Amino acid sequence: MVEVKFCGLTRVADAQYAAALGASYAGVIFAGGPRERTPEQAAELWSALPRAVRRVGVFGRDVLERLPRVRELIEVDVVQLHGDPTAEELQAVRRVFTGQVWAVARTEGAVLPDGLSTFFAEADAVVLDAKVAGQLGGTGVAFDWQGVAAALERMRSGARLVVAGGLRPSNVAEAVRVLRPQVVDVSSGVESAPGIKDQSQMRAFFEAAQEREG
């Protein structure tokens, strides 16, 4: 079954509910925006989770500066690189971090970004998100799943596929059917306000992600 990542978590209660549902990943933002948390706030949130839920820190281009302070406070399982990272930046993180490194590739409509095949070769997972000018993520905007499916299938090798961007309970089953990701990643699609998760929507999303075609 596809794994679920609840991202942009800001409250301990929401993180605990994600774990109770069976989420595989709990994401905290260190890359700016209304859901950003300090390392101390992230430590409080992640410390409330069972160890089976993997901790994902979402970083921007300043990851090498910010990661050490986060790791002083709590163990991080996954570093997710946002902000259109380069292959060189991914490799630099690998030199200082032994956990998983996920690279975010932002897709505009049905156009896959340049360098995507490199990410599949070098990252542990590729996070496909929608590209929205001036915003890194959490926009609630989806890319064209049908439009990228064939080209994406040809280059998938090595890294796992994580689908993000505009997912919500009403469409996540379709995204899973079309793109066959290993992980689906939701933030704004289950919120009542930025950073405030709606537990009924979280449950609906998790259940819909497990639906199987036919």
The CATH number of residue 128's host domain is 3.20.20.70
8 Å CB contact between 211 and 178: no
Cα–chain center distance at 94: 18
Q: How far apart are CA 19 and CA 101, in angstroms?
A: 22
Give, rounded to a whole angstrom, the gap between the first and last alpha carbons of the chain.
15
Alpha carbons within 13 angstroms on the beta-carbon side of residue 122 total: 19
* Domain span at 11: 3-209
Is 161 in contact with 128 (CB distance < 8 Å)? yes
Q: Is 30 domain-assigned? A: yes
Any domain includes 214:
no
Q: What is the pLDDT along the chain (214 residues), one digit of tens a residue?
A: 899 999 999 999 999 999 999 999 999 999 999 999 999 999 999 999 999 999 999 999 999 999 999 999 999 999 999 988 999 999 999 999 999 999 999 998 888 988 899 999 999 999 999 876 555 555 667 899 999 999 999 999 889 999 999 999 999 999 999 999 999 999 999 999 999 999 999 999 999 998 854 3
pLDDT of res. 214: 37
Q: How far is CA 136 from the centre of its chain?
A: 12
Question: Which residues contact residue 172 at a Cβ distance below 8 angstroms, ignoring those fewer than 6 apart?
Answer: 184, 186, 189, 205, 208, 209
The rounded distance, in Å, linking the Cα atoms of 32 and 138 is 11
In the chain, the number of structural domains is 1
pLDDT at 117: 92
26, β-bridge pairs: 6, 55
pLDDT of residue 213: 45
Locate all alpha helices (DSSP H) within 156-198, ordered by sequence: 172-179
In a domain, 27, yes or no: yes
Contact 200, 214 (CB under 8 A): no
CB-CB contact of 159 with 119 (8 Å): yes
The answer to whether 12 and 45 are in contact (CB under 8 A) is yes
What span, in angstroms and rounded, lies between the C-alpha atoms of 135 and 27?
17
Q: pTM of the predicted model, to two decimals?
A: 0.94
